Amino acid sequence: MDADAKDWPRWVPLLAGLLTTCVAISGTTASLSADEVATYSAAVARPLSGLWGLVQQIDGHFLPYYLLIHVWSWLGEAEWWLRLPSALAAGVAAGFLADLGRRLAGPRAGVLAAALFAVLPSVSYHGANARPYAFAAAAAVVSAWALHRVAEAPTGSAGWKQIRWYAVSVALLGCTHLFSVLVLPAQFLAALLVLPRRTFLTRIVPATAVGCVPLAVLALVGWGERHAISWIQPHELDVLLKFPKHAAGSDLAGPPLFALAVVGVVVLLRRSVAWGVLAGGWLVLPPVLLLAIDELVTPAYVDRYVFVAAPALALAGGVALASVRLAPVPFALVGVPVVLAVALLGLPDQADYRQRNGHYDDFPGALGVIQARERPGDAIVYGQSRLRTGFVYYGREGLPEDVLLRGQGPAFEYAERDDLTEALAGHRRVWVVWRGTKQAGLTGKKIAKVAAVRAAGYRLSTAWHSAELPGLTVALFERGRGKG
């Protein structure tokens, strides 16, 4: 560790966390995504009894996060407010990452790790996303930080305080997202290498076991509800080549930063094998183990599930930059340009994530199409019933008559009438909205509601689709006229 680590001001991690939170939450106009609407539906739009009924059907492993958002929503339901907990979690991750970098390789490494983390497009995306992935990243950092404190603690009774905190951090890790625990093998190996065998067996193993109790419960719940991820397709080995992009949130910034991180892992291995193993395992094991689960158990590889490794990407990159020693060149002239370069490479993705369609579902845009051409007496039909929640959230000033709605279903779907022709009686125009492209609904019978509306005698008048795929499509059908 650098000699000036003793002069590490306490405000540095706080400032790193504040800046990261501000970066994550600033400038975004993105509509809530379908997943964020699911958060709203589960945690905000239902009473506790309704939430409990939902998690017995689906998303039971998200119960800790949903409970947090349920309480948080007592103070508001605006987009930015529902996303603020994730932005705060990203800030917590940055703050602890700064101090972890300082502990592993000195203050410079800590500052640079936090700076790299703050400018990652993936941090802006998940930090402004009402889902638990920023919490998973934060818990991963906190647990690694707590493990380092265990390694520094006395071996006597005084060390039990650090052990307890490590157990708590592991428990928090398991409560964020099931696949976040894929960072634990790296921590386990690091502890085995850095701690005396007796300390490892009598403290780390029990602490990890106790911390994994919530994980075990939530994993059993998740396994029983694994139908919720049945939409995931199997992946081949080449998906690992996309990991740098997935972790960084940018196909331009990800690969060079990953290469820099590999250098940082080598630097750490030369300093301490244990902490090099921690950083290297944290970086590569989540995607590798997730792909193994994908191949051997059930398809499960989704890019957001490996965001838990993004802090390791920034940590190792910061260590690599801090290891550069050019006597005539000030430290800032080495690290700052690289951080700025990463920020510039990620700028297109940063801008994209902040657009109204940045989370790949443009509910306000779709609603605006309807409101611009809506007439009294119009009806609306949802190609997938769960889309109703997003339109109701943004359409509080009024929507066309929802002719099929009967009530809330047991999960995210709604109970609907099955007599569409009768339900549309008396309506000359009907809006049909679905998730997917125009072609998905207008050709063939992929969207059953479209086929049913046509069978009821309506013809297409106009259709609009948001920019991203799969996106949302809005189509207006009129009785006895249109394009067929």
- pLDDT for 3 equals 43
- Residues 197 and 304 reside in one and the same domain: yes
Of 331, 354, 377, which closes a domain? 354
Taking the C-alpha atoms of residue 141 and residue 282, their distance in angstroms, rounded to an integer, is 10
Structural domain count, the chain:
2
- Residues 244 and 369 reside in one and the same domain: no
- pLDDT for 191 equals 96
Long-range CB pairs of 42-51 (<8 Å, 24+ gap) are: 42/66, 42/412, 43/67, 43/68, 43/69, 43/70, 43/73, 44/69, 44/70, 44/73, 44/77, 44/82, 45/389, 46/408, 50/408
- Residues 198 and 301 reside in one and the same domain: yes
- Residues 217 and 245 reside in one and the same domain: yes
pTM: 0.94
Q: Does residue 142 form part of some domain?
A: yes
- pLDDT for 329 equals 57
- Residues 419 and 293 reside in one and the same domain: no
Q: Does residue 419 form part of some domain?
A: yes
Taking the C-alpha atoms of residue 463 and residue 484, their distance in angstroms, rounded to an integer, is 12
- Residues 331 and 368 reside in one and the same domain: no
Q: 423 lies in which domain range?
A: 363-479
Tens place of pLDDT per residue across the chain (484 aa): 444 456 788 899 999 999 999 999 999 999 999 999 999 999 999 999 999 999 999 999 999 999 999 999 999 999 999 999 999 999 999 999 999 999 999 999 999 999 999 999 999 999 999 999 999 999 999 999 999 999 988 766 557 889 999 999 999 999 999 999 999 999 999 999 999 999 899 999 999 999 999 999 999 999 999 988 899 999 999 999 999 999 999 999 999 999 999 999 999 999 999 999 999 999 999 999 999 999 999 999 999 999 999 999 999 999 999 998 765 656 667 788 999 999 999 999 999 999 999 998 999 999 999 999 999 999 999 999 999 999 999 998 899 999 999 998 878 999 999 999 999 999 999 999 999 999 888 987 789 999 999 999 999 999 999 877 788 999 999 997 655 5
- Residues 128 and 251 reside in one and the same domain: yes
Look up residue 172 and give its two tokens.
């928090």
Helix 310-322 to helix 79-105 angle, to the nearest 10 degrees?
Answer: 40
Q: Does residue 430 form part of some domain?
A: yes
- pLDDT for 155 equals 66
Q: Does residue 484 form part of some domain?
A: no
- Residues 311 and 408 reside in one and the same domain: no
Q: Does residue 14 form part of some domain?
A: yes
Q: Kindly report whether the peptide bond that precedes residue 9 is cis, defined as omega within 30 degrees of 0.
A: no
Of 354, 386, 410, which closes a domain? 354
Q: Does residue 285 form part of some domain?
A: yes
Of 305, 329, 354, which closes a domain? 354
Q: Which amino acid is at 271?
A: R
First-to-last CA distance in the chain?
72
- Residues 281 and 394 reside in one and the same domain: no
Taking the C-alpha atoms of residue 313 and residue 243, their distance in angstroms, rounded to an integer, is 11
99, 105, 107, 112: CA torsion to nearest 10: -80
- Residues 319 and 424 reside in one and the same domain: no
Strand partners, 462: 476
- Residues 349 and 446 reside in one and the same domain: no
- Residues 318 and 394 reside in one and the same domain: no
- Alpha-carbon Rg for the chain, nearest whole angstrom, is 25
